[in-house]
Chains A and B, each alone.
Chain A
Amino acid sequence: MSIEAAKKRADDFLVKAKESAAIFSQLSQEHVDRIVKAVYEAGFKNRVKLAKMAVKETGMGRWEDKVIKNVVGSLFVYEDIKNLKTVGILSDDRETGIMEIAQPIGPILAIIPVTNPTSTVIFKTLIALKARNPIIISPHQKAIGCCVETAKICYEAALKEDAPENCIQWTREEPIDFATFDIKDYYAETQALMSHPKLSLIIATGGGGVVKAAYTSGTPAYGVGSGNVPILIDKSADISFAVKNILISKTFDNGTICASEQSIVVEQSIADAVIKEFKAQGGYFLSEEEIKKVEKVAFDREREIMSAGVVGQSVEKIAQLAGINVPAGTSVLLAPLKGVGDDYPLSSEILCPILAFYVARDFNYAVKTCIDLNFHGGMGHSAGIYANDDGVIKEFSTEMSAGRILVNTPSSQGAIGGIFNKIHTSLTLGCGTAGKNITTDNITAKHLINIQRVARRRGNERFSNFDANLFYDESLSTDEILRKFNLNY
């Protein structure tokens, strides 16, 4: 596809989206809320069908866990945003004289990842519509079928509540035939959409390449960063509880959530107890020789990232790929490592049931190991700690560069909110400037409105009573000016 053809295609989408945005801008809060409720209900109703479609098409994860993701993307997101005011006057403070008015931002392009496709479509659609913005769904090339089906279900439900036409669009109708399709065309299409002048915002959830493309497109964007989540088990932790929760999280959808645990760090004094507990709960500790075999299949040395072939795969599949034997019923593979960095591939982010395992001689060394892991590709994302000592929790949290620090909580489900804590439910996790994002927030509907501030006149008494000419007098010291400025105040 030529660049001109890609631009023309993008233009067709954006002309419709812009018209939809115009109509959307007139809708009342009550009308918007009816649309959002209908879309959530439709997504929720189809949670199982869409989960199975996603697993079948992508070959990643477990359908049962994808169902839970769809529940999070529909029900939990809806519950989180349903009472949020996104239309009209948000606040009016007579004392400051400031009134805040919500305005929609306009057409949004939603980049959908292969790891959480249908749930992310429902989630992004709900938050976009709640803020009166049309959305264009751009699925990962390997998840087109399930994403389009999800988008259609949402659109049909929205139209039944008299939503604006084209408030939900999708960039393809049918899955790509990879035998005949040039993937460069796909990138060209996405690029043309991202840089289209009528597009207001991109919400880019996916790998580093697509997020960077979004940020460099010239259109405002919310992106995500890569994770490399360290988990510290402190000696004050309930070890059995900690291991159980880590396994609940790391095995969830075969580890496809970017907030899932990547490394476990324990102090020497409790190491034996933790190892024993992991073994009792189905963890398998790899030998040095097995680690080398697993590294080869789990990490792409050339590209310095995890291998796509293991993402979202089961322990059995990974063991088979690596040519190792693990006991039946093994839940995760644990790799005891001596260091962090390029010489230790399993210390990097790998979205499947593999955990690096570190023993540190004391708490300080444990925190320092977590810092190394955090800075090895996971800055700004998430970290976790199991402890029953608030001082330890605060000390750990202060040292981490992470948007979310999960305490005594499975990090996969904890980071996305709504299940184990009260942070906003989201499938797009901001990683702050450390992760090259603009915010550490969990992205939700409140990020998709422009807030106008009507500023009524409220005089600054000190300025009114002050002779402003004194500001021009260089012979006066700052103290002298301030004394006069603050006189009788």
Chain B
Amino acid sequence: MTKFDNPLAPKFGRLMNHSAQIKAWVREARDLPEDTPITVAELACRDEGCPDIETVIGILEVDKPIVTLRLHAKMTELSRYDVLAIACNF
């Protein structure tokens, strides 16, 4: 019988709701239409002194360079305020 928690288990769906929520907040902050692609991912942060995981948001507006927003927290730890603050001010 398996006795360990699998740290590499496929993550599909685990963060789906959080990802959708973050995208909605970014759209709200920057007044983006629904068809503007936004991508959200949790990445291992490689900077010294940073938390292990950061959330990286990409905004891919038509005919514009991709805008990258970085928040030094996991998706689950982000609040609407956090996302609005960075998305509005970038």
Partners in one complex: no
